Amino acid sequence: MLPEVGKTYLMRHSRKGNAKVKILSICDEKVWVDVEIISGTLRGIGAGSVRQAGDAVRARLQLCQFVEHDGVA
């Protein structure tokens, strides 16, 4: 499933972890997705690198699973 820009999803990334995110953009080639973390944390590159709420992250779509979030906490 390809996520829609502007919607909120629960994202599971095989390397970065899990977080509730808002989709900011998807590249034309459907390879990369830019998201803003709404809640939760994702691992970044390097030891101790953690991204949290408010941070923007780029991820490879192939490594992500998205479940549409209905807005309930």
Helices (H) and strands (E) in the chain, counts: 0, 7
Query: Could you give the CA distance from residue 33 to residue 19 in angstroms, rounded to a whole number?
Result: 14
| pTM (predicted TM-score) | 0.86
**pLDDT one-digit tens code per residue, 44-70:** 877 778 999 999 999 999 999 999 887
**pLDDT one-digit tens code per residue, 16-36:** 999 999 999 999 888 999 999
